[in-house]
């Protein structure tokens, strides 16, 4: 349990906050999952977790409410886009009044009164379950396919080093469509923040979900995030894992194809610099027939940043006619950057089409020379090519306002790094691109 020592010590030192049968069972299952490490989480991400755990975080065991900070919340909004906006300050969810739309229900429960089982899958969710005392419950009624958009702005703000525990439970009714944006941000701050998040999502028959998991936080912010998604028949799922600036963070995306004929994609990018430690793990479990999955992860690592990718495709005996693909491509941009990648295929029946590919290399030297021959300086050319490298992930974002915002976020970040001013960046060109399409 050494990786989570400061939290296990907390349990020992303050037993009054962790009493009762439920807590006892949760603590027990957490220590079991750490010990067994069946999914290799500690083996692969243990060192990243150890880094996260260096500061001594305060924990809100008393359930003190963090007030809504309207100004900060508004800044997180995306232009030309008006979703239902939920703001979470540290571990307090502030939900808007939703009387006008009966199809969408949002409520915050005490974990003790939650009417559904409180599941856990991998080590981070086991860990989250012990400390998360509130659960945000979102449900979308089925029966009509109007599109619903919900944005959850997660803001970390405190005057001390703080650990926050967030838990989200989402049910999407049959045939319903949901755009769900989780936007993690923290302003640059001298304080260290740690966020533990577990999101569990159920898609009923024919439901579809576009899930955007955006991290744009400071270097002093750590995040241990697990998302478990279960799909019934004929579902469509697109996950976008967008780590524009993610301090130290590990994300787990675990998808179950419970019934036939569903499709899922996971598109992700990581832009890392400084001493960032960024890990992504995917578990795509094909448990039924005619499932299709496609994963595409891109990492650009600069300075002394370290990246880890673990991607598992599991095709069970029953999951005939499965198509499962995975690609992980990485660029190391500095001598001290590191990448470790493990694309894994476990196949238990023969009527499948599966492949994975992983490459690590440099920017295309021929393209670089071509650009320089046209007069574009090397540093700018590199930035443009890097931007293009992660561009296919951004271009796949179906929500236009968000696509523009992500593009800007990445551009801002990349141009900040090159010594040249950003007069070639697309922020200025947006109008041109639009005009030239006439």
Partner 1 sequence: MDKEILLDVKGLRASVAGKEILKGIDLTIRKGEVHAIMGPNGSGKSTLSAVLTGNPAFTVDAGSATFNGKNLLEMAPENRAHEGLFLSFQYPVEIPGVSMTNFMRAALNEKRKYLGQEPISASDFLKLMRQKRAVVDLDNKLASRSVNEGFSGGEKKRNEIFQMAMLEPSLAILDETDSGLDIDALRIVAEGVNKLKTDDNATIVITHYQRLLDYIRPDYVHILYKGRIVETGGPQLALVLEEKGYDEIKRKYDNNAAE
Partner 2 sequence: MSNPDNNIDANSKILDDVTAADYKYGFTTDIDTDVIPRGLNEDVVRLISAKKNEPEWLLDFRLKAYRHWLTLKQPKWAHINIPDIDFQAISYYAAPVKKDGPKSLDEVDPQILATFNRLGIPLEEQKVLSGMAVDAVMDSVSVKTTHRERLAELGVIFCSISEAVKDYPDLVRRYLGSVVSYRDNFYAALNSAVFSDGSFVYIPKGVRCPMELSTYFRINAQGTGQFERTLIVADDDSYVSYLEGCTAPMRDENQLHAAIVEIIVEDRAEVKYSTVQNWWAGDAEGNGGVYNLVTKRGLCRGESSKLSWTQVETGSAITWKYPSCILAGDNSVGEFYSVAVTRNYQQADTGTKMIHIGRNSRSTIVSKGISAGHSENSYRGLVKIAAKADNCRNHTQCDSLLLSSTCGAHTFPVMQIDNPSAVVEHEATTSKISEDQIFYCNQRGIPDEEAVGLIVNGYAKEVMNKLPMEFAVEAQRLLQITLEGSVG
- Residues found near partner 1 in the complex (CB under 8 A): 364-367, 369-378, 380, 384-385, 387-389, 391-392, 395, 423-424, 426, 428-429, 431-433, 435-437
358 binds, among partner 2, partner 1, none (CB under 5 to 8 A by kind): partner 2
116 binds, among partner 2, partner 1, none (CB under 5 to 8 A by kind): none
Pair 254, 121: CB distance under 8 Å: yes
SS3 65: coil
Is residue 275 involved in binding partner 2 (CB under 8 A)? Answer: no
| Of 95, 100, 94, 90, the residue nearest 57 (C-alpha) | 90
Supply the minimum distance, in Å, between the C-beta of residue 353 and partner 2: 6
Is residue 357 involved in binding partner 2 (CB under 8 A)? Answer: yes
Supply the minimum distance, in Å, between the C-beta of residue 191 and partner 1: 37
From 57-65, 359-367, 384-392, 407-415, give the range in contact with partner 2 by CB under 8 A. 359-367
**Nearer of residues 18 and 314 to partner 2, judged by Cβ:** 314
Supply the minimum distance, in Å, between the C-beta of residue 328 and partner 2: 9
Q: What are phi and psi of 404, to 5 degrees?
A: -60, -40
**Nearer of residues 14 and 369 to partner 1, judged by Cβ:** 369
Supply the minimum distance, in Å, between the C-beta of residue 279 and partner 1: 25
Strands (E), 302-424: 306-315, 322-332, 338-347, 352-361
340 binds, among partner 2, partner 1, none (CB under 5 to 8 A by kind): partner 2
375 binds, among partner 1, partner 2, none (CB under 5 to 8 A by kind): partner 1
Pair 252, 285: CB distance under 8 Å: no
**Nearer of residues 127 and 257 to partner 2, judged by Cβ:** 257
**Nearer of residues 97 and 437 to partner 1, judged by Cβ:** 437
Distance CA 148, CA 178 (A): 5
**Nearer of residues 33 and 87 to partner 2, judged by Cβ:** 33
391 binds, among partner 2, partner 1, none (CB under 5 to 8 A by kind): partner 1
**Nearer of residues 53 and 425 to partner 1, judged by Cβ:** 425
What is the residue-wise DSSP string for 98-136? -TT-TTEEEEEEEGGG-SS-----SHHHHHHHHH--EEE
How is residue 154 written in tokens? 């997660």
How is residue 9 written in tokens? 């010590």
Pair 401, 79: CB distance under 8 Å: yes
**Nearer of residues 351 and 392 to partner 1, judged by Cβ:** 392
Q: For helices 400-417 and 426-436, what crossing angle results, to 10°? A: 140
Classify residue 226 by its DSSP letter: E
How is residue 335 written in tokens? 């001598």
Is residue 347 involved in binding partner 2 (CB under 8 A)? Answer: yes
Distance CA 192, CA 157 (A): 10
Pair 169, 204: CB distance under 8 Å: no
Is residue 366 involved in binding partner 2 (CB under 8 A)? Answer: no
348 binds, among partner 1, partner 2, none (CB under 5 to 8 A by kind): partner 2
**Quick one: which of 80, 350, 423, 438 contacts partner 2 (CB under 8 A)?**
350
Distance CA 253, CA 294 (A): 13
Burial class (CB in 10 A: 0-12, 13-18, 19+), 406: buried
Is residue 333 involved in binding partner 2 (CB under 8 A)? Answer: yes
SS3 152: strand
Supply the minimum distance, in Å, between the C-beta of residue 405 and partner 1: 18
**Quick one: which of 267, 288, 295, 330 contacts partner 2 (CB under 8 A)?**
330
**Nearer of residues 109 and 316 to partner 2, judged by Cβ:** 316
**Nearer of residues 21 and 350 to partner 2, judged by Cβ:** 350
Distance CA 203, CA 171 (A): 6
């Amino acid at each position: 349990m050494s990786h989570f020592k400061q939290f296990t010590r907390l349990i020992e030192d303050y037993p009054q906050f962790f009493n009762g049968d439920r807590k006892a069972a949760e603590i027990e299952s957490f220590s079991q999952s750490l010990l067994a490490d069946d999914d290799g989480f500690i083996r692969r991400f243990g060192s990243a977790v150890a880094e996260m755990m260096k500061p001594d975080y305060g924990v809100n065991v008393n359930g003190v409410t963090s007030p809504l900070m309207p100004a900060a919340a508004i800044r997180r909004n995306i232009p030309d886009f008006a979703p239902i906006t939920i703001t979470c300050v540290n571990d307090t969810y502030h939900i808007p009044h939703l009387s006008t739309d009966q199809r969408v229900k949002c409520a915050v429960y005490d974990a003790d009164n939650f009417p559904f089982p409180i599941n856990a899958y991998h080590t981070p969710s086991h860990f989250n379950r012990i400390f998360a005392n509130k659960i945000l419950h979102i449900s979308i009624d089925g029966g009509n396919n109007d599109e619903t958009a919900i944005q959850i702005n997660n803001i970390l703000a405190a005057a001390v080093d703080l650990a926050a525990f967030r838990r989200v439970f989402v049910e999407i009714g049959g045939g319903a469509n949901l755009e769900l944006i989780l936007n993690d941000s923290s302003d640059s701050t001298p304080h260290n923040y740690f966020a533990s998040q577990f999101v569990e999502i159920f898609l009923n028959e024919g439901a579809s979900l576009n899930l955007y998991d955006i991290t744009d936080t400071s270097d002093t912010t750590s995040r241990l995030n697990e998302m478990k998604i279960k799909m019934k028949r004929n579902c469509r799922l697109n996950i976008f894992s967008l780590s524009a600036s993610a301090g130290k963070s590990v994300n787990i995306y675990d998808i179950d194809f419970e019934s036939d004929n569903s499709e899922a994609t996971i598109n992700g990018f990581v832009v890392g610099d400084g001493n960032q430690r960024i890990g992504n793990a995917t578990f795509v479990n094909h448990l039924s027939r005619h499932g299709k999955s496609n994963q595409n992860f891109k990492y650009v690592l600069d300075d002394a940043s370290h990246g880890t990718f673990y991607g598992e495709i599991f095709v069970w005996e029953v999951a005939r006619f499965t198509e499962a693909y995975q690609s992980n491509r990485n660029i190391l941009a500095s001598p001290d950057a590191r990448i470790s990648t493990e694309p894994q295929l476990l196949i238990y029946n023969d009527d499948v089409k599966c492949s994975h590919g992983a490459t690590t290399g440099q920017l295309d030297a021929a393209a670089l020379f071509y650009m320089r021959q046209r007069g574009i300086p090397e540093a700018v050319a590199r930035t443009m090519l890097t931007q293009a490298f992660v561009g296919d992930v951004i271009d796949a974002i179906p929500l236009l306002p968000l696509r523009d915002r992500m593009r800007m976020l990445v551009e801002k970040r990349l141009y900040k790094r090159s010594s040249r001013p950003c007069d070639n960046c697309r922020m200025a060109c947006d109008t041109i691109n639009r005009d030239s399409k006439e």
